Structure 1
Amino acid sequence: MNIIETRNLTKKFGDFTANDQISFAVKQGEIRAIIGENGAGKTTLMNMLYGILEPTSGEILIEGEPVTLRSPKDAIAHGIGMVHQHFKLAPSLTIFENVLLGAEINKTRRIGSKTFSGLTIDIKEERRRIQELVDKLNFNLDVNDRVMDIAVGARQRVEILKMLYRNVKILILDEPTAVLIPQEVEEFMNQLEDFKKLGQTIIIITHKLDEVKRCADTISVMRQGRLIDTVTNDESATRESLAEKMVGRPILLRVQKSGKPVDETRTLFSVRGLSALDGNGKKVVNDVSFDIHANEVVGIAGIEGNGQTELMYCLTGLMNTTGGTITVDGKDVTGKWPSDLRADGVAVVPEDRYRQGLCREVPVSRNLIAGYHCCDCYCKKGFMRSKSIRENKERLVGEYDIRLSADDPPVSSLSGGNAQKIIIAREFSRSPKVLLASQPTRGIDIGATEFVHNSILKLRDEGKAALIISSDLSEVVGLSDRVLVMYKGEIVGEFKSDDVSFQELGLYMSGAKSQKKPQAVPLAAGQ
């Protein structure tokens, strides 16, 4: 039986068609994967199923009956729940309080012949019910723990609990493993199988084809707002064939390194004893030291929130340090502004391309010289040299395959992948000595990711040094010669990328293991 179905579901935003007559059906107890490039329309489709968006035309059917979903409340009432990639939890509340937020259990009191309800919350009953559900699902949680004190994987289980407590029959999961370490991913995959045995229907949106192959019964592929194909997850549905359906051309999924050896005789980038405090005086970068040699890519792995962002801010002059030094090819650049770092041969790919890397309403040509606009080739005696700027744009657009909708449109008109290519083109074309890149492929599709990876490896093989910070562990290991692991602001492990497993890295990322030696505790007088 089809538990949920869409017929010719269409969503338009003005003249733009985000979803074009999508028709598909999901059986009860099925795990359905929805895959596609960024901008393919996956999120728009799921937002219509969850009542966040209303269709322009077409219909949604639950168990064969047409339904109208005007809000998530309507969707939940019809048995549809959604867990978003970025969790929507109150950190200061306990697990059971988060699960019951908006659905609290009130005490009832009888006074004489009258019964009163809603005056106070029945905390004891709330704890009992949620702990009972936790035990039934084998979620291994203490419902009295505050959300701020539990691991990321546990927070995801809390989000799922919120939906299952409300008796949803269809669970939509948006990029559910994006912030999980390998051990948590393994546990999550096992939980999906358990949900399936309980008769739960699951729709999972993800770009990780290994996980799709692992968990899905059926795979639907979307491209440019249309449903391209739906296939059974069998031997014929290879990762390569699925990627080709997503992009429309063959894709090389595995990073291919040249094998060119690291030049350990030349250190291009060196960090010694770097430390920094956040605005609250908390140490977020703690005595970090490492070197990067010519022909070397060093990757930093870690669960988000363990100091990687702050480390990159320190390295690129966006955050003050409280100690330590940074050198580029032997020159001290500690605390220099990004413009000065660029003059010293440092290229920067920031974590947030729109907040830190691009001006959305400025034309592509001007974004392609941002940070270098004071160079004599683009500016003479205070006047911009329009011809040189235009020629630079035409050269880089062709060389880096940047797809434009007009001759020189604003960056806001481009896809995420093409916007990222502008940063890559701008920074890489200056032949830097050192590349500092944070989340270089976040939010871009498989085709653009392949391009960025190849560009980084090309720079490496030209004798440059690169530091890559990414929340995608496969990206860190695939690109890097060495992998460093950060935990609570410190480097707690260092590995050769071809000599370490994801599981081993996961133990260091979670703090379960560390190569750092514990500091000796001084003896008190007389001991």
Structure 2
Amino acid sequence: MSSPSAAAASADATDVVVRLRGIGKTFPGVVANHDIDIDVARGTVHAIVGENGAGKSTLMKILYGVQKPDSGTIEIDGRQVSLSSPSDAIAAGVGMVFQHFMLADNFTVLENVVLGAEKLHGIGDGAREEIRRISATYGLDIDPDALVEDLGVGARQRIEILKVLYRGARIIILDEPTAVLVPQEVEELFDNLRELKSEGLAVIFISHKLDEVLSVADTVTVVRRGTTIDTVAAQSVTSRQLAELMVGSELPSPTTETSTVTDVPVLQVRDLTLPAAVGGRPLLSDIDLTIHRGEILGIAGVEGNGQAELVEAVMGMRPGATGSVELSGQDLAGLSTRRRREAGIGYIPEDRHRHGLLLDAPLWENRVLGHQTREPNVRGPFVSRGGARADTERIVRDYDVRTPGIDVLARALSGGNQQKLIIGREMSGDPSLLIASHPTRGVDVGAQAAIWDHIKNARREGLAVLLVSADLDELIGLSDTIQVILRGRLVGTFDPASVTPQQLGSAMTGAADDDPGASPA
């Protein structure tokens, strides 16, 4: 494998559109980037991979003008630039598509695209024609007059790409762009990226899914502990070799191997229905499911089809739901979320920042969060600071949460370490049921392997798990049974031992209602 400097030396200087040299960035107590060198060539997809906390996000924020480097230089199209804001980056031809879409659902495509860029082509026919031109040129297939709320996740991803192209981007940064896409949508996105590079654009692709990286990238740079480790041609390495470069170990597998399912029901949901707030199609319709001790039930679905509402209804976070929810024979009707937790539910939320952590609180206070009525966090009616701190130290050790100490603020941890802290906290309550929503979203292969191991170990000890994930390989590998949710209904039950990601993707989009791999829900 070639070193970054060797790769840079061999590149034709006229083809390099982004040259980073000696980039360094330090935050209080943390060296985020140190002496990073990367060359990105015109007409290529250049992937950047690394563990959570390796420095990828900081590096991309520097290139997009969100943060200023402490040292090093940035060259774009052979000219050294100073980027003090995203506006500077956009003016230099750099656009960024973030993992979480920034679209207004009640606006049309045109209104979303021109927002903040009205001076370019106006807000009427001129803008509409430019959107159609860009869409046709790059194969994006976007109707400028479509309402965003009527579009699927793949189309929304293409709108975000269209937004940066509309602003003149020649260098496009994509942050975890496939996190919420089904396999068919991933292939469509990759076709779009190939079209972009064929037109001479450069794409910087950030992902933890190494097989996807190798299928679409021309070049891969590995970042570890804030510095560049290697830059390699994608066709010259395997995903396992990349994983070893990233974390020093082989690519993990979610496979659960032997079955541990018993005949003892833990969660029983019957006729669960959740009406929409303002009329229209119910958010959930007649949901029936059972999870037994030692069983992982996976829920597959395109985002927005009711999986989040299902989780929130079981957790007691959605008023207005009808039907029954029982936990180990106990009717949970009328119980608050806190009472349901106390009854034996552990909860890994979909959005760890909004619902899982107090980002500006230290780790030991986050240990108490959601468990403030239970030992070791309380002594009598009072919070036990000593008990919470001691148990946080245990979680840090047992779950390999990499932190300088338990008084560090939660926002200072990488995404993977934040997630391991949450999982350690939720497992510590000795739950009978774990609801895990996207437990490894946005975490690196090392943290992913650790999270899978914790879930599999708990399953062997009798834990029942409701697993919601957009990672179909994860669902197939971990689950004992998979059910697909579409427009608020469970529409099919699949055997993970025989189903393929493509079959699940078809069921998730309603394209294969009579798929032979599924049984009726």
Q: State whether TM-score is above 0.5.
A: yes
1:21 aligned to which of 35, 44, 62? 35
The one-letter code matched in structure 1 to 2:87 is K
Evaluate the alpha carbon distance shift between residue 147 and residue 356 of structure 1 in structure 2; reply closer, same or farther with a 3 A threshold: closer
The one-letter code matched in structure 1 to 2:492 is G
Other-structure match for 1:303: 302
Is 1:45 matched up with 2:59? yes
1:86 aligned to which of 93, 100, 123? 100
Instruction: Look up the SS of the partner of 2:265 in the other structure.
Output: strand
Q: How does 1:503-518 map to 2 (within 5 A)?
A: 503-514=502-513
CA distance in 2, matches of 1:150, 1:201: 27
Other-structure match for 2:132: 131
CA contact (8 A) 1:438 1:469 kept: yes
1:372-427: per-residue Cα shift (whole Å, max 9, x none)? 44446664543555665555444444333333413655545443333332332233
CA contact (8 A) 2:171 2:201 kept: yes
Instruction: Give me the CA root mean square deviation.
Output: 2.8
Other-structure match for 1:8: 22
CA distance in 2, matches of 1:381, 1:123: 65
CA distance in 1, matches of 2:433, 2:66: 44
Evaluate the alpha carbon distance shift between residue 453 and residue 28 of structure 1 in structure 2; reply closer, same or farther with a 3 A threshold: same
Other-structure match for 1:111: none
Evaluate the alpha carbon distance shift between residue 74 and residue 396 of structure 1 in structure 2; reply closer, same or farther with a 3 A threshold: closer
Other-structure match for 2:272: 274
The one-letter code matched in structure 1 to 2:246 is M
Other-structure match for 2:216: 215
CA distance in 1, matches of 2:345, 2:313: 13
CA contact (8 A) 2:173 2:205 kept: yes
CA distance in 1, matches of 2:95, 2:53: 23
Larger radius of gyration: 1
CA contact (8 A) 1:405 1:413 kept: no
CA distance in 1, matches of 2:468, 2:69: 39
Other-structure match for 2:456: 457
CA distance in 1, matches of 2:94, 2:369: 46
Give the stretch that moved more between structures: 449-458 or 352-361.
352-361
Give the stretch that moved more between structures: 211-220 or 393-402.
393-402
Kindly tell me the number of residue pairs found equivalent between the two proteins: 500
Evaluate the alpha carbon distance shift between residue 146 and residue 393 of structure 1 in structure 2; reply closer, same or farther with a 3 A threshold: closer
Evaluate the alpha carbon distance shift between residue 368 and residue 251 of structure 1 in structure 2; reply closer, same or farther with a 3 A threshold: farther
Other-structure match for 1:431: 430
TM-score, length of structure 1 as denominator length: 0.86
Instruction: Look up the SS of the partner of 1:498 in the other structure.
Output: coil
CA distance in 1, matches of 2:49, 2:476: 23
Q: Following TM superposition, by how much is the alpha carbon of 1:369 offset from its aligned partner in structure 2, in angstroms? A: 4.9
Q: What are structure 1's unaligned runs of at least 5 residues?
A: 108-120, 517-527
Other-structure match for 1:56: 70
Q: What are structure 2's unaligned runs of at least 5 residues?
A: 1-14, 516-521
Instruction: Look up the SS of the partner of 1:344 in the other structure.
Output: helix
Evaluate the alpha carbon distance shift between residue 190 and residue 430 of structure 1 in structure 2; reply closer, same or farther with a 3 A threshold: same
Q: Following TM superposition, by how much is the alpha carbon of 1:230 offset from its aligned partner in structure 2, in angstroms? A: 1.0
Other-structure match for 1:179: 180
Other-structure match for 1:195: 196
1:463-497: per-residue Cα shift (whole Å, max 9, x none)? 22110112322222221111112222221222112
Q: Percent identity?
A: 42
Evaluate the alpha carbon distance shift between residue 151 and residue 345 of structure 1 in structure 2; reply closer, same or farther with a 3 A threshold: closer
Q: Following TM superposition, by how much is the alpha carbon of 1:213 offset from its aligned partner in structure 2, in angstroms? A: 0.6
Evaluate the alpha carbon distance shift between residue 170 and residue 410 of structure 1 in structure 2; reply closer, same or farther with a 3 A threshold: closer
CA distance in 2, matches of 1:138, 1:410: 44
Q: Following TM superposition, by how much is the alpha carbon of 1:354 offset from its aligned partner in structure 2, in angstroms? A: 4.2
CA contact (8 A) 1:295 1:460 kept: yes
Is 1:480 matched up with 2:479? yes
CA contact (8 A) 1:321 1:335 kept: no
Give the stretch that moved more between structures: 74-83 or 293-302.
74-83
Other-structure match for 2:243: 243
Other-structure match for 2:10: none
Is 1:68 matched up with 2:69? no
CA distance in 2, matches of 1:7, 1:376: 51
CA distance in 1, matches of 2:128, 2:365: 58
Q: Following TM superposition, by how much is the alpha carbon of 1:316 offset from its aligned partner in structure 2, in angstroms? A: 1.2
Other-structure match for 1:170: 171
Evaluate the alpha carbon distance shift between residue 162 and residue 390 of structure 1 in structure 2; reply closer, same or farther with a 3 A threshold: closer
CA distance in 2, matches of 1:106, 1:387: 59
CA distance in 1, matches of 2:399, 2:196: 45
CA distance in 2, matches of 1:498, 1:126: 50
Higher strand share: 1
